[in-house]
Structure 1
Amino acid sequence: MSDWLISLEGTEAGHRAALLLALLAALLHAVFGALQKGRHDPWLSRGAIDASYATMAAPFALFVVPWPEPHMWPIFAGVFVIHVIYKVLQAMAYTRGAYTVVYPVVRGMGPLFTVIGAYWLFGETFTLTQWLGVGVLLSGIFGLAIYNMMFLETERETLKSALALAALTGLFVALYTTYDAYGIRATADPFTFLAWFFMIDGLFMPPIAYLRWRRMAHPPAPLPLMARGIVGGVVAFFSFGSVMLATRLDKVGEAAVLRETSTVFAAVIGWVFLKETVGPRRVALMALIALGAVIVEMGG
């Protein structure tokens, strides 16, 4: 599997595979965000999800894939620190703001700074048409956030802090996207990076979530929480794993932009499962996001 995947790097088949992987990551990332923001406290949900995917990844990391090369250990240390900060900021933002307001801001900041970071780190460049696509996509994403904010009925007293945290979280989305792309390209076997990434990345949040659960006056029942964690862990494997493989196969910037069509999926999820209103204006803004992604892809 690894040899076949590596053979696709830099080929037209690799480009098509990266496109499909980025779109799959977009859909699943929206599901992942809804799982964290949904019924339970976001800190508890994230802790349950992280515990699940770390436990599932450990046997593969320790016994199946080749062990990381010595130069990978400092890279994994950087991955751990960046993702810890990102997850803390994200949980704080979700605690203070509505999902359909916070999520577009987080995801809107990500692709812009990822494209810039990919230029500095990997020498990637976008054509003028692709930059137009980025602008169209971002106008849809931020327009969606502004529209949701205008008609927000709850959590208005914490809206400013939620938006500030969402913007900062978006910067860390860009940072982890480019850094993870660097990491998965630095090892011979991409599945070595993925297995160790999930095992290491899942170590921080579970103890934090447990302490938070213990301090609650009315903590939720653990079994439904863990069930959500298992589902979220499986989704995380395919969501984060897909986009990281896409960044190995093709341009980091393109994968990052295409992944942010997750905002469209998030709006649909917010409407269907979280009972948040979707009207014609939001549909038009979601169409802008999709159009921007198409322009980026066609302009390359």
Structure 2
Amino acid sequence: MSGRGSVVALCGGIGGAKLALGLSHVVPAKKLSIIVNVGDDFRHFGLAVSPDVDTVLYTLSGRVNPATGWGRNEETWRFMEAVGELGGETWFNLGDTDLAMHAVRTARLAAGARPTEITAAFARALGIAPAILPATDAHVPTVVETDEGVLPFQRYFVGLRCAPVVRTLRYHAADEAEPTPEVKAALNAPDLAAIILCPSNPYLSIDPMLAIPGLRYALATAKAPTIAVSPLVGGDAVKGPLAKMMDELGHARTSATILAHYGDLVDLLLLDERDAAEATDPRMAVAKTMMVTLEDRIALARACLAAADRLAGRA
């Protein structure tokens, strides 16, 4: 990439945060904006928890637990042990140091601050230079309709470990939400060079953002190429329930399904090199999408930007 243009990445939690970290190593900080899903935000013990935003913050600040990809490294769990001792709900773990994030966020929300402002303050405090932008300041909870009834996202995802069969998904109030001014500015930047859809679960992490009409419109009308990275490798998800969900929703576990799902919003889908035989569509290309090391994350970031350069005629 030329290095002169700005870059926007849309991501959810673990997989998306990995690529966002790679991008942070190759794109100047002032030129990188990371738009993050907030469909899995919820209140627990009265605290405002924003799992995907926090995963991105911990990952880019070097504080994430490397074993899980979420939560803080070297975490302790005495709070949860005490909750269990008192007979409280223990299905959703809140680490002792992670609690600080939720407590401070809750206090600042009560004082009238916007989630975007709070996230920016956290990023500065953690030494993160790129812009970390919640997709919206509105509350837009993802709801999962299953064979066991209608479930709030975290109850399905964490409490029941994705065991119920998914029938459909709803993005509550997303059609009434607005992207933040910061998100609009990032997607309308005159020097925008690339939009990256990270390898997050399309249904659980990317779709909640695309369900916001103003955000979807900004993506559809953006002048820069949009590059998506397939979250499937060898017909399976690297992490999480994507493959199971695709089966339950009646979708073939192929990159062609992912490309069709994004439709005209995407100019190119990057597949993992082991899925090269699937790259039969001219809107597909091959790269190493498995990100085990930091070098892998950086290499994939470079591959995304190089693909955008080629599409824009900058190569």
Query: In proportion to residue count, which structure has more strand?
Result: 2
TM surpasses 0.5: no
Query: In proportion to residue count, which structure has more helix?
Result: 1
Structure 1-normalised TM-score? 0.30
